Every structure is written in C-alpha cells, then in structure tokens.
Amino acid sequence: MAELKVLISRQDVAKRVAELGEQITKDFAGQSVIFVGVLKGAAIFLADLARQVQLDSTFDFIGVSSYGNRPSPANELRSGWDSTGEVRLLKDVDQSIKEKNIILVEDILDTGLTMTYLKKMLLARQPRSLKVAALLDKPSRRKLPLEGDYVGFKIPDEFVVGYGLDYAEKYRNLPDICVVPRE
C-alpha cells in the first residue's frame, strides 16, 4: 500500500481533545456522566477524552455491526460504504441508563446512520441527557441529518486511519490520524 500521510498530528489531537474535555467539564458541572464508547474505533479517543474531564464518571461500551454487504477493503477505501442503516447490537451497555447523563463516544461520523440508530435506541431508555462526542466528522458524507455535540475535527471525504480508526482492522494504534491514499 502507498504511504500514509499525516492529516492531524498527535499534538493537534491532544490539544483538541483537551478542549473538548474542558467543555464537557463545564457543561456537566456538579453532575456525573457515563461515557459509552462504540467499539472498537472509539476506545482510544474515549481513554484520552475521559482523562481530560474532571467529573465523576464511569465507562461503558456498546458493540455494533451494520447489515448490508460490506465491500472489500479496497472498495470501501475507494467509495466509502453506505450500509442499510440497520444496526445489529453485538454488545449492549452493562447498566441501566435511565436518568443518567450519557456521552456516546464515536471515532467518526460518516453517513450518520450508525449514530442515528444508536441515539434512537438509547433515548428510548430515557436517559437524563444524551450527547454525542465524535473525534472526526465527514459532513459531506451525511445521509441523515445528524450533528455531534462535541466534535474534534471536520474533515473532507478522505479515508483515515490511526488513533483508533482502522483499515481492515489495521492501523488503530497509529498515534497520528493519517489519510490512506485512494489511488
């Protein structure tokens, strides 16, 4: 594969994550929050974000897989992937979220289908509040009108890896966010 190019450096990521953490700390002053990470891409972002938030907090995780015929990695890279929007829950949260402040943590908002589904499912359980924190956002790919509440960076329609994001399960451990060339 061609060489990966750094899009957002680890220093810029750290700075922005600290800003998001500060904002969350202010917005929920005096309250507690539950960070709910969407496996696996959000694991690294959640770990860093939670350490920048000075509030009583706990972690939980949710695992999903999308229905539809996922293209080969090469085709997903070329033209992205529009799933059916129907999401199968592989792992639910471990606790009741009723009356709790939930911060759903995702690596990237793309078509918005996954997040829209998850928000609807969790809102039905009547949390006190439900916010979406996403490290990255590709607004030009959106199919459903979804906005993140705490967004790290808006990026163009490029396929990115690193800091939790994968290409065919690889590169999640890269410290910088890099673009995979599409040629």
For ligand IMP, the binding residue among 21, 41, 152, 162 (CB under 6 A) is 41
To the nearest whole angstrom, how small is the minimum distance from the Cβ of residue 25 to ligand IMP? 25
- 3-state class (DSSP) for residue 40: coil
Closer to ligand IMP at the Cβ: 27 or 172? Answer: 172
Strands 5-8, 177-179: parallel, antiparallel or unpaired by DSSP?
Answer: antiparallel
Q: What is the DSSP letter of 134?
A: E
Active site residues: 110
Site residues for ligand IMP, window 149-168 (CB under 6 A)?
A: 159-161, 165-166
Q: Which residues pair with 178 in a beta bridge?
A: 6, 161
Cβ of residue 101: shortest distance to ligand IMP, in angstroms?
A: 22
From CA 69, how far away is CA 91, in angstroms rounded?
21
Cβ distance to ligand IMP smaller for residue 125 or 139: 139
- Complex with ligand IMP: residue 43 or 109, whichever CB lies closer: 109
Please report whether residue 110 would count as binding ligand IMP according to CB under 6 A: yes
Smallest gap from Cβ 23 to ligand IMP, in A, equals 22
CA–CA gap between residue 144 and residue 163 (Å, rounded): 25
Length reported for the chain:
183
Which residue in the block uniquely carries the two structure tokens 């709910």? Answer: 36
Using rule CB under 6 A, residue 106 touches ligand IMP: yes
Which residue is it, tokens 């800003």? Answer: 19
- Reading the block at residue 129, the tokens are 């509040």
* Residue 60 binding ligand IMP, by CB under 6 A: no
Question: Least separation, in Å, of the C-beta of 81 and ligand IMP?
Answer: 7
Burial 45-66 (b: 16+ CB within 10 A, else e): bbebbbebbebebeebbbebeb
Residues from 111 through 150 that contact ligand IMP (CB under 6 A): 111-115
Select the residue interacting with ligand IMP from 107, 127, 132, 152 (CB under 6 A). Answer: 107
Contact residues toward ligand IMP (CB under 6 A) are 41, 106-115, 159-161, 165-166
